[in-house]
Amino acid sequence: MKALTITNSFTVIAEVSNKHYMDNLFGILRCYCEVEANVERVDSYRITPESFWNGMNKVPDVDFIQLLKDNSEDAISPNVLTDLEKFKSRFGMITMVGDDCLKISNEDVLTEIKNNTRLNEMIYEYDGDLIFFSGDMKLLQEILNNDLSCPIKFRKSKMNTYLIDDGRTSEVVKAPNATVALRSLYGKHRSLQESQLRDTIKYRKAEVTEEAINEFIQAVLKDIKNHLVCMRQV
């Protein structure tokens, strides 16, 4: 039995007893939908444009429409699928590229923005396909969602922040992943020196190669507590 039922009113119904729903779909539905009710045996959600766009910002790698198709007990109404595709098509036309800057990738949307009195009260500069705004971000989002049916796509940083602590000193490093974070501290952090490398991977050659350093870093990652007190993403 499939985990979900999707009605013509954009309601998603899930049986709490369905293990696949609880293990794999529960969190995604809460990103892409508004929670309507949680009763003893059934959870129900409602898909709105805003909830759909929020989901695309929170978990962009999920193809939510395909997920619904794959997990729906019955065929989803063509009208529902058409509207969901419309929601999806509007996402990405406006992208946040700075604290006060939006990039507009669609000329028609840019024209709509310029013609919207409420938006122009918040915009202090236009520069090609960039607009610079001030004021309440929540209000800006509401106007874009309701007046233009066009959400803001928020870009996620490709850099993570790691706290590396050996009990006496701590370092905060920005890097795309943990391996790069530790590699950047090799030879600088007192617990990531050549002497530790030689002892950890039993390295006897006179010259320490890049391959040896990479092997050492991987060894540290596999056994953090033996080299550092902790390493965590913050």
Sheet holding 130-133, edge to edge: 123-127, 130-133, 101-104, 94-98, 152-154
Q: What confidence tier does 133 reach under pLDDT thresholds 50, 70, 90?
A: very high
**Residue 17 per-residue DSSP state:** T
Long-range contacts of 52-58 (CB under 8 A, 24+ apart): 52/84, 52/87, 52/88, 53/87, 53/90, 53/91, 53/145, 53/151, 55/28, 55/31, 56/32, 56/88, 56/91, 56/151, 56/153, 57/151, 57/153, 57/154, 58/31
Residues 14/72, Cβ–Cβ less than 8 Å: no
* Confidence (pTM): 0.70
Span 183-205, average pLDDT: 94
Each residue of 108-121: pLDDT tens digit? 999 999 999 999 99
Span 81-101, average pLDDT: 95
> What single-letter amino acid sits at 136?
D
Tell me the C-alpha distance between 149 and 52, whole Å: 12
Residue 202, pLDDT score: 95
Residue 50: φ, ψ to 5°:
-65, -40
N-term to C-term CA, the chain: 40
Residues 162/181, Cβ–Cβ less than 8 Å: yes
